[in-house]
Amino acid sequence: MISDGARDALSGFLEHARALRGASDNTIAAYNRDIATFLSFMSVHQGGSQGVAALARVGTPEMRSWMASERSSGTGARSLARKLSAVKSFYRWLSEREGFDATAVLSTRAPKFQAKLPRPLSVDAAKDVIDLMDVQSAEPWINARDQAVVTLLYGCGLRISEALSLTGADVPLGETLRIMGKGGKERIVPVIAAAREAVALYTRTVPFELAPDAALFRGARGGALNPRQVQKVVASVRMQLGLPASVTPHAMRHSFATHLLNAGGDLRAIQELLGHASLSTTQAYTAVDAARLMEVYRKAHPKA
């Protein structure tokens, strides 16, 4: 049972995250779910609904109890770290608004876990995936559609959601694209000739009108293309090629970053192209050995 005060506080935090931090709908939903679960646990653990005053008194023992409960219910280290991050964000905002010391919550250590490194494709495998997209359907326009989408992922480093957010107003593609990424962050990405040509072929063959305010990429019945369909066709292609299960639409974006870096691309420039907020995210995103990173460092650092 969550008290009205705690529920109002959660609603206020979610509005703050949505309005001022530009959090996506998926992030807001995850925050709501994770924090509400935490508040419910505290109500049961403390033997009564938790108002704001009671939440302000949550200390290290209560945090340890909550984390132990999560682990005993099967929550993995990675998921628990995500939930703790959401709770900390909520407490940081709440403590500033209500004027209490949230050190006990904010200093709680996240469980350690082994980060999963991205597994990009080789250059040849990426090309094979794109080429094989052309023979997956009996409908030529669907083949052209799928090939265009995957070419944008690999050729421009787009997220699948970004590629599918393009509209009829974006074609014909020019040499650059203005992309609205995560958190409402806008970036400009160059569009290689292969991507322009792939999208142009699709627009010539698609049997539906591409209105400026409607989705560019369409499903078989004319509605906006579902990302699940792209995932399915990529899965089919990777099985035909004998590639591992790690080959997904998102792996094409990983491959874009890694291949650029391996070809001598600047890490910060790649960060901008991907729309990452921090350089550390870009570094973890690219599959490159320590020697290659040191080479980039020596070339970039004025005293190296």
159 is catalytic: yes
Give the span between the Cα atoms of 237 and 239, in whole angstroms.
5
21 is catalytic: no
Name the active-site residue from 218, 253, 254, 259.
253
Name the active-site residue from 78, 92, 182, 292.
182
182 is catalytic: yes
Tell me which residue of 194, 226, 222, 228 sits closest to 209, measured CA to CA.
222
250 is catalytic: yes
- 3 state SS of 132: helix
Give the span between the Cα atoms of 89 and 93, in whole angstroms.
6
**What residues contact 245, with CB distance under 8 A and at least 6 apart?**
238
| Contact between residue 50 and residue 2 where contact means Cβ atoms under 8 Å apart | yes
88 is catalytic: no
301 is catalytic: no
Name the active-site residue from 31, 83, 91, 159.
159
Which strand (E) or helix (H) includes residue 133?
A: none
E strand spans, the chain:
176-180, 186-190
DSSP label at 265?
-
- 3 state SS of 112: coil
Q: What residues are labeled active site?
A: 159, 182, 250, 253, 276, 285
